[in-house]
């Protein structure tokens, strides 16, 4: 009977009806009653949660005594399986109840103006009924019981839409009801069949009179396939996956906003929750053996929902379509979960889940949080400014910073970016796709490709909406967030939950992972060194939080110094660890149930990189203080800046792939934020030449668009990387001895062994390298780095010199030794993989260098050069790895080690000259207020010091001795040419790289010459002294390279220090022929360039505008056409999405089904009603005819049967 688990739920349900009677009370009072009724179940749930978390499942006794004949027992349960849903619903419904008051007050006023009347009693009664039905639904233990609550939730939400919705609310509410009602009834048909065949429809039931729960498995009943098909098919309507989705945009878009908050984040996902029950508990083997079609439906839903969201103008409709896409993610998790563990027993499914199922729970939670934040903000816009059209909004970021920040956090949850719980949903979903589909390579490839597209679109539509709503110029949209202060408190609480659940994911999703190896045994290993190690990535993160949360009134220089200080401390610690030359590992128990600890490690190689990153970042931070002085509020700037550095350092020192990816994704996010830092999109912050068209397209980009491009490009690559990790997890469990897997970096590295045993290894390796290639802006992902120049110049310096772009190199530094060490298993695959990478990267080096020749934007030339110089590092590692692989077991690791060392030298020298060049470029732009070269007269005369520093940095890039850059390039070329001794594999990369060095020295001298010596614009009158913080950091760096280069020239000490710390021991080959050619080409480049641009100062700009030369110029300017093609593809994708929306959703679903069907029914009804003539004669005729037909039917049947 009724017990302490079921009673509160029943009180909550019945109480909601009772509110109806209390309609006369004040709204505030009613809202308090409503909250109390919602919280009552929380108390008992909280009480039972520890028990449920410990792995038992709590089940109330049957509500109506024993089993009801043919139906089974109705009770409620709580276990690890439904805790995420239970708590999400409780959090969102309670806060939304409070949010409702202000919103519905306004809504009622509107309704009264239309001639209607609002009733608080009805509103809160239905609201609570809706909320408590959802809660009861996820705790139901019986399919009929579950259906009952599905219908109650439907009915109450229907009424709320019909009464208080917007637009054509009467039609829409009806449409909502009919569509989902058809779905639930089809589900019911399946349940009824189950009932007939099995005699009860319990999901979970008690064993006899004991407390032991049992889960009936229906896999073996007759027609189990049909039964489960009907049930799932019906629920697909409810979950609004593609083809069943058309009611959702209307219902969620036009519902009163608090109801949208419940519908979209909470209710839709519950359909999929029920599918989880069907798939994991009731029909495990049938579901897992038929999950592929569902997987592809889900993947398509992600893409389709995203495309539809992209083409919406209405904010709420946009959010509604995004829900469809998110449901796709959830279904992907459910299906991959089932596919990975077809033989997990249902009772086990209540305690520990496969990765995919876990991912689906995270998607539910993150979607609930993200979408409720955004709906609440959309609601604020509606009630305080009456605007819903995204295209009429804009520029809110400056007037309403809190709203913008919260909305951004909401979007992050949907994008799956840290620091929100969305990261876990995204990360686990991608992993699970790799993990679950790899054994069917024909599923794996299209699956991953669709996921890459889907996630790309998701990032695209979310960031695009953020850009349109919050960025840009204000177009007359008036919104004062002070009026909405109360509601922002609730939004902020939810947003905070999103961050909290990111840090402590197992508090909301009891992540008990099926077959995972715990990383440590729960012991904290702390000593001085490991504490330092932890502080290296953590301090900048703290700095980030401080900058964001500190008062607006704080002096910006102080904020800058605090931020710089945190980075400085990281730098000190890194250097200390470098000098102490110890390998340190640390591991703090974190998400033990997921086998993920906060585990970091540092060794010689890692500490070199960490020191480099932190020191360069520190100098750039110092420089920023001066550079950004003119801006008033820099909270956002410093928050992103330090977050960027922290994320980068985290990736560098992470010892498991979860932390590795958190940092990795963090850099994507931070770069997005910083590239689109100038959210108002002022024209002078753009890149590209206005009015210059190639192939009919103006190759320019605004800051906000550039940010999106960077995020989309890098994220799409990351999907490849993570899904390859997923494959490695699968292989660990599959080939490993104990059938379990682990997230630790060591296990991942060693599972490349299993990968190389597999014939499909090459595909996985190539999919995996997409992430590093995208991050390092290698072909075909170069485009984003160029447009990334819209960010403030220090940011460009940061991205290029110290952080994100180097991640591709870091990946190869960390991963290639392992892959090569297993190359004996399959030298062909590893060798060709690395050769492909070597060719791609060396081609990039050449490609971007040619593009740099035809550009007159200072920063753009430097961006091209970054892509080019990074390519040197990747190429040298890849080509030496290729050679080592082809040599197989007898391989000479000296070759790879030499490659690694060469890449390190190049990494350090590139960081130094690129940081200096960018900082100087920033100073130039500061002075001239133009991003183009030679726009101001007299620059050389007034800025001699700047010129000298810039020239030295330029010569460093040009690789002339005795600067450090020379050694970087020489060792790269030398190493590759040395590797030629073992085979001619790396000849093509070598040739490309040698030629590129000549181009490099030419374009950089051209840039400097044109910047300082060409005079085409106004006279530069006032020149300040120049901020010391802006001049000092580049000077320090240039001096460093000069000294280091000289030292190296004298006794080779730099290389030997690096050798010592990196733990590699190689002899660099000096004075080989290619090196000499490189040096001479560099010299030639410098000399030719100087003679043209310094001495003769030829202006080619007119001669390049004509005839064939123009073609060549355009070709180079547009990145061999690639940039133009990508831009074109981007804009035509928008066009495609718009048309798909018109044709599929509006014409077909809306026109044919939503409008056509009722119209047809009415017409048809009117026709057949004509038999009701009112004449007895006619009635009798029909009566007799009917009888005759029945008799004829019998006659026919008796013949047939």
Partner 1 sequence: MTGEEFIYLITIVLTVPSILLLYLDRKDEEYRYSTVITLSSLIIALVLIIYLPFSRMINSYAFSDNGGALFSIDIVGVLLSIAAIISTIITVTGSLNEVPRWSTRSSFYSLILLTLLGIIYISFLNNIIVLLTSWALSAAASYALVAIKKDLLSTEVSTKYLIMGIISSSIMIYGLLFYVSYSGSLYLGQVLQLNASPLIAVASVVFIITAFGFKIGSFPFQGWLPDVYIAGDRIIVSFISGTVKLIGIATLTRLLYNLSFVVRNVQADTISFLVLALVSSLSMVFGNFTAFSRRNFASIIAYSSITQAGFFFIGFSSFFLAQITNNISLITEAINGIVLQSIAYTVAQAGLFISMHYIEKHTGSLELDMLRGLWFKSPVLVFSISVLLLSLLGVPPLLGFWGKLYLFASVASPIGLWLLILGVINSAISSGYYLIIMREMFREEKQGYKLQNTIEVYSSFISALIIIILGIFTPVIITYVG
Part of the chain binding partner 1 (CB under 8 A), chosen from 195-203, 297-305, 486-494, 521-529:
195-203
Our finding on whether 1168 is near partner 1 (CB under 8 A) is yes
Within 13 Å and on the Cβ side, how many CA atoms surround 4? Answer: 7
Task: Please give the size of the binding site for partner 1, defined by CB under 8 A.
Answer: 72
Indicate the residue among 504 and 1160 with the shorter CB distance to partner 1.
1160
Single out the residue of 2, 182, 766, 987 in contact with partner 1 (rule: CB under 8 A).
Answer: 182
Write out the binding residues for partner 1, residues 1148-1167 only, by CB under 8 A.
1158, 1161-1166
Q: Which of 1064, 1079, 684 is nearest to 880 (CA)?
A: 1064
CA 863 – CA 848 distance, rounded (Å): 9
Q: How far is the CB of 184 from partner 1 (least distance, A)?
A: 8
Q: How far is the CB of 78 from partner 1 (least distance, A)?
A: 22
CA 98 – CA 491 distance, rounded (Å): 11
Our finding on whether 162 is near partner 1 (CB under 8 A) is yes
Q: Which residues pair with 211 in a beta bridge?
A: none
- Contact criterion met (CB below 8 Å) for 959 and 845: no
CA 912 – CA 1038 distance, rounded (Å): 7
Number of H helices and number of E strands within the chain?
Answer: 46, 10
Our finding on whether 63 is near partner 1 (CB under 8 A) is yes
Q: Which residues pair with 648 in a beta bridge?
A: none
CA 1115 – CA 1128 distance, rounded (Å): 15
Q: Pattern of binders to partner 1 over 640-679, x per CB under 8 A?
A: ----------------------------------------
For 306, the token pair is: 């995203």
Q: How far is the CB of 226 from partner 1 (least distance, A)?
A: 8
Indicate the residue among 192 and 991 with the shorter CB distance to partner 1.
192
Q: How far is the CB of 65 from partner 1 (least distance, A)?
A: 6
| Main-chain phi, psi angles of 349, to 5 degrees | -60, -20
Our finding on whether 503 is near partner 1 (CB under 8 A) is no
- DSSP annotation of 213: E
Indicate the residue among 1091 and 1172 with the shorter CB distance to partner 1.
1172
Our finding on whether 1174 is near partner 1 (CB under 8 A) is yes
Question: Exposed (0-12), middle (13-18) or buried (19+): which is 343, by Cβ within 10 Å?
Answer: exposed
Single out the residue of 27, 40, 59, 188 in contact with partner 1 (rule: CB under 8 A).
Answer: 188
Our finding on whether 177 is near partner 1 (CB under 8 A) is yes
585: enclosing H helix or E strand: strand 584-591
- Give the ranges where 354-484 is alpha helix by DSSP (H): 355-385, 396-399, 401-415, 422-437, 441-470
Q: Which of 415, 6, 420, 324 is nearest to 1141 (CA)?
A: 324
Our finding on whether 961 is near partner 1 (CB under 8 A) is no
- Contact criterion met (CB below 8 Å) for 389 and 314: yes
Q: How far is the CB of 140 from partner 1 (least distance, A)?
A: 12
The SS3 of residue 856 is coil
β-pairing, 1018-1019 with 936-937?
Answer: parallel
Part of the chain binding partner 1 (CB under 8 A), chosen from 144-152, 691-699, 940-948, 985-993:
144-152
Q: How far is the CB of 152 from partner 1 (least distance, A)?
A: 7
How does 833-866 read in b/e, with b if 16+ C-beta sit within 10 Å? bbbbbbbbbbbbbbbbbbbbbbbbbbbbbbbbbb
Single out the residue of 25, 35, 53, 192 in contact with partner 1 (rule: CB under 8 A).
Answer: 192
Single out the residue of 2, 11, 106, 189 in contact with partner 1 (rule: CB under 8 A).
Answer: 189
Task: Tell me the DSSP string of 639-653.
Answer: HHHHHHHHHHHHHHH
Indicate the residue among 43 and 1171 with the shorter CB distance to partner 1.
1171
Q: How far is the CB of 1189 from partner 1 (least distance, A)?
A: 8
Single out the residue of 7, 11, 181, 1128 in contact with partner 1 (rule: CB under 8 A).
Answer: 181
Our finding on whether 155 is near partner 1 (CB under 8 A) is yes
Q: How far is the CB of 104 from partner 1 (least distance, A)?
A: 16
Q: Pattern of binders to partner 1 over 71-90, x per CB under 8 A?
A: x--x----------------
Our finding on whether 1199 is near partner 1 (CB under 8 A) is no
Q: Pattern of binders to partner 1 over 19-58, x per CB under 8 A?
A: ----------------------------------------
Q: How far is the CB of 174 from partner 1 (least distance, A)?
A: 6
Single out the residue of 144, 302, 331, 813 in contact with partner 1 (rule: CB under 8 A).
Answer: 144
CA 967 – CA 977 distance, rounded (Å): 15
Residue in the block written with tokens 């495609």: 1136
Q: How far is the CB of 359 from partner 1 (least distance, A)?
A: 32
CA 811 – CA 841 distance, rounded (Å): 14
CA 355 – CA 726 distance, rounded (Å): 10
Residues near 1199 by beta carbon (within 8 Å), at least 6 away in sequence: none
Part of the chain binding partner 1 (CB under 8 A), chosen from 62-70, 282-290, 982-990, 1013-1021:
62-70
Single out the residue of 11, 148, 443, 980 in contact with partner 1 (rule: CB under 8 A).
Answer: 148
Our finding on whether 621 is near partner 1 (CB under 8 A) is no
Our finding on whether 117 is near partner 1 (CB under 8 A) is yes
Indicate the residue among 233 and 1128 with the shorter CB distance to partner 1.
233
CA 506 – CA 1118 distance, rounded (Å): 48
Residues near 1155 by beta carbon (within 8 Å), at least 6 away in sequence: none
Our finding on whether 174 is near partner 1 (CB under 8 A) is yes
928: enclosing H helix or E strand: helix 893-928
Single out the residue of 48, 94, 97, 195 in contact with partner 1 (rule: CB under 8 A).
Answer: 195
Single out the residue of 159, 569, 722, 733 in contact with partner 1 (rule: CB under 8 A).
Answer: 159
CA 620 – CA 15 distance, rounded (Å): 61
Our finding on whether 1201 is near partner 1 (CB under 8 A) is yes
Indicate the residue among 558 and 1194 with the shorter CB distance to partner 1.
1194
Write out the binding residues for partner 1, residues 226-255 only, by CB under 8 A.
226
28: enclosing H helix or E strand: helix 27-53
Write out the binding residues for partner 1, residues 906-945 only, by CB under 8 A.
none
CA distances from 474 to 312, 377, 479, 806 (A): 20, 17, 10, 37
Our finding on whether 138 is near partner 1 (CB under 8 A) is no
Part of the chain binding partner 1 (CB under 8 A), chosen from 182-190, 594-602, 687-695, 740-748:
182-190
Our finding on whether 737 is near partner 1 (CB under 8 A) is no
Indicate the residue among 526 and 1190 with the shorter CB distance to partner 1.
1190
Note the maximum CA span of the chain: 119
Single out the residue of 152, 509, 728, 798 in contact with partner 1 (rule: CB under 8 A).
Answer: 152
């Amino acid at each position: 009977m009724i017990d302490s688990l079921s009673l509160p739920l029943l009180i909550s349900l019945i109480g909601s009806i009772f509110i109806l009677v209390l309609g006369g009370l004040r709204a505030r009072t009613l809202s308090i009653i409503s909250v109390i009724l919602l919280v009552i179940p929380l108390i008992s749930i909280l009480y039972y949660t520890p028990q449920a978390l410990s792995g038992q499942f709590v089940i109330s006794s049957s509500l109506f005594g024993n089993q009801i004949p043919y139906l089974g027992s109705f009770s409620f349960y709580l276990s690890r399986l439904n805790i995420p849903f239970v708590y999400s619903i409780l959090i969102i419904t309670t806060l939304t109840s409070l949010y409702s008051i202000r919103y519905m007050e306004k809504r009622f006023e509107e309704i009264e103006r239309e001639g209607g009347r609002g009733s608080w009693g009805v509103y809160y009664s239905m609201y609570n009924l809706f909320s408590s039905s959802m809660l009861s639904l996820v705790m139901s233990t019986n399919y009929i019981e579950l259906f009952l609550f599905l219908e109650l939730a439907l009915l109450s939400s229907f009424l709320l839409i019909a009464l208080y919705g917007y637009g054509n609310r009467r039609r829409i509410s009806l449409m909502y009801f009919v569509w989902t009602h058809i779905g639930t009834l089809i589900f019911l048909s399946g349940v009824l069949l189950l009932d007939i065949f099995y005699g009860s429809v319990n999901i979970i039931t008690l064993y006899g009179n004991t407390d032991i729960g049992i889960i009936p498995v229906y896999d073996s009943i007759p027609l189990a396939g049909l039964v489960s098909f009907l049930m799932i098919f019906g629920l697909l309507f409810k979950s609004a996956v593609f083809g069943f989705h058309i009611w959702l945009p209307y219902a969620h878009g036009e519902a009163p906003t608090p109801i949208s908050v419940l519908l979209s984040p909470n209710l839709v996902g519950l359909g999929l929750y029920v599918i989880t029950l069907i798939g994991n508990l009731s029909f495990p083997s049938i579901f897992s053996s038929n999950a592929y079609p569902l997987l592809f439906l889900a993947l398509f839903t992600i893409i389709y929902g995203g495309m539809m969201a992209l083409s919406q103008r209405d904010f709420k409709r946009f959010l509604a379509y995004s829900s469809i896409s998110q449901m796709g993610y959830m279904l992907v998790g459910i299906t991959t979960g089932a596919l990975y563990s077809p033989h997990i027993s249902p009772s086990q499914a209540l305690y520990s889940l496969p990765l995919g199922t876990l991912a689906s729970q995270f998607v539910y939670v993150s979607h609930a949080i993200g979408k409720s934040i955004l709906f609440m903000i959309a609601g604020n816009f509606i009630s305080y400014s009456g605007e819903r059209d995204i295209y009429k909004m804009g520029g809110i970021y400056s007037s309403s910073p809190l709203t913008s920040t919260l909305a951004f956090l909401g979007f992050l949850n949907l994008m799956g970016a840290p620091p929100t719980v969305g990261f876990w949903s995204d990360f686990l979903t991608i992993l699970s796709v790799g993990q679950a589909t790899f054994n069917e390579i024909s599923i794996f490839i299209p699956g991953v490709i669709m996921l890459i597209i889907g996630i790309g679109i998701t990032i695209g539509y979310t960031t695009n909406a953020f850009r349109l709503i919050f960025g840009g110029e204000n177009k007359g949209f008036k919104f004062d967030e002070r009026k909405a202060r109360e509601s922002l408190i609730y939004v902020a609480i939810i947003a905070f939950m999103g961050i909290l659940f990111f840090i402590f994911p197992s508090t909301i999703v009891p992540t008990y992972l099926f077959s995972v190896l715990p990383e440590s045994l729960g012991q904290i290993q702390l000593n001085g060194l490991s504490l330092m190690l932890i502080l290296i990535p953590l301090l900048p993160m703290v700095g980030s939080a401080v900058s964001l949360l500190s008062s607006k009134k704080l002096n910006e220089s102080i904020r800058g110094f605090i931020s710089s200080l945190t980075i400085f401390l990281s730098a000190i610690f890194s250097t200390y660890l470098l000098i102490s030359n110890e390998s340190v590992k640390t591991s703090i128990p974190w998400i033990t149930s997921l086998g993920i600890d906060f585990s970091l490690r540092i060794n010689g190689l890692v500490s070199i990189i960490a020191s480099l990153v932190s020191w360069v970042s520190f100098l750039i931070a110092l420089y920023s203080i001066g550079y950004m002085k003119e801006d008033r509020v820099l909270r956002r700037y410093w928050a992103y800046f330090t977050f960027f550095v922290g994320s980068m350092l985290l990736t560098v020192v992470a010892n498991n792939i979860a932390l590795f990816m958190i940092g990795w994704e963090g850099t994507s996010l931070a770069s997005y934020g910083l590239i689109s830092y100038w959210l108002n999109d002022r024209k002078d912050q753009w890149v590209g030449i206005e009015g210059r068209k190639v192939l009919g397209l103006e190759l320019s980009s605004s800051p906000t668009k550039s940010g999106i491009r960077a995020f989309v490009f890098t994220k799409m690559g990351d999907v490849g990387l993570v899904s390859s990790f997923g494959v490695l997890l699968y292989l660990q469990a599959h080939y490993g001895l104990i059938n379990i897997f682990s997230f630790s970096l060591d296990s991942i590295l060693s599972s490349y062994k299993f990968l190389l045993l597999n014939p499909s290894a090459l595909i996985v390796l190539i999919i995996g390298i997409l992430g590093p290639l995208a991050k390092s802006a290698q072909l075909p992902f170069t485009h984003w780095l160029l447009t990334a120049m819209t960010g403030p110049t220090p940011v460009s310096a940061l991205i290029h010199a110290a952080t994100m772009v180097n991640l591709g190199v870091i990946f190869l530094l960390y991963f290639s030794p392992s892959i090569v060490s297993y190359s004996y298993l399959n030298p062909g695959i590893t060798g060709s993989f690395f050769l492909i990478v070597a060719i791609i990267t060396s081609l990039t080096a050449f490609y971007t260098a040619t593009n740099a020749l035809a550009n007159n934007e200072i920063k753009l030339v430097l961006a091209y050069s970054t892509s080019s110089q990074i390519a040197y590092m990747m190429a040298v590692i890849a080509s030496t790895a290729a050679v080592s692989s082809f040599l197989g077991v007898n391989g000479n690791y000296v070759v790879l080690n030499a490659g690694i060392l060469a890449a390190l030298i190049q990494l350090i020298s590139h960081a130094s000259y690129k940081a200096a060049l960018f900082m100087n470029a920033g100073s130039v732009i500061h002075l001239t207020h133009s991003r183009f070269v030679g726009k101001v007269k007299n620059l050389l005369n007034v800025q001699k010091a700047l010129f000298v520093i810039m020239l030295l940095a330029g010569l460093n890039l040009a690789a002339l001795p005795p600067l450090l850059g020379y050694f970087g390039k020489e060792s790269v070329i030398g190493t590759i040419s040395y590797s030629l001794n073992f085979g001619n594999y790396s000849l093509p990369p070598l040739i490309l790289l040698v030629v590129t060095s000549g181009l490099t020295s030419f374009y950089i001298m051209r840039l400097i010459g044109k910047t300082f010596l060409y005079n085409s614009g106004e006279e530069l009158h006032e020149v300040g002294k120049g901020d010391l913080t802006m001049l000092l950091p580049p000077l320090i760096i240039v001096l460093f390279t000069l000294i280091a280069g000289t030292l190296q020239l004298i006794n080779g000490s730099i290389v030997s220090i690096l050798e010592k710390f990196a733990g590699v021991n190689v002899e660099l080959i000096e004075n080989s022929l290619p090196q000499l050619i490189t040096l001479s080409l560099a010299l030639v480049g410098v000399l030719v360039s100087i003679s043209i641009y310094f001495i003769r100062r030829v202006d080619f700009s007119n001669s390049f505008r004509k005839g064939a030369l123009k073609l060549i110029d355009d070709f180079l300017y547009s990145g061999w056409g690639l940039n133009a093609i990508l831009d074109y593809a981007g804009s035509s994708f928008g066009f495609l999405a718009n048309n798909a929306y018109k044709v599929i959703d509006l014409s077909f679903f809306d026109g044919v089904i939503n409008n056509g069907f009722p119209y047809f029914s009415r017409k048809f009804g009117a026709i057949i009603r004509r038999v009701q003539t009112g004449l007895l004669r006619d009635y009798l005729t029909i009566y007799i005819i009917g009888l005759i037909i029945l008799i004829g039917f019998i006659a026919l049947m008796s013949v047939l049967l």
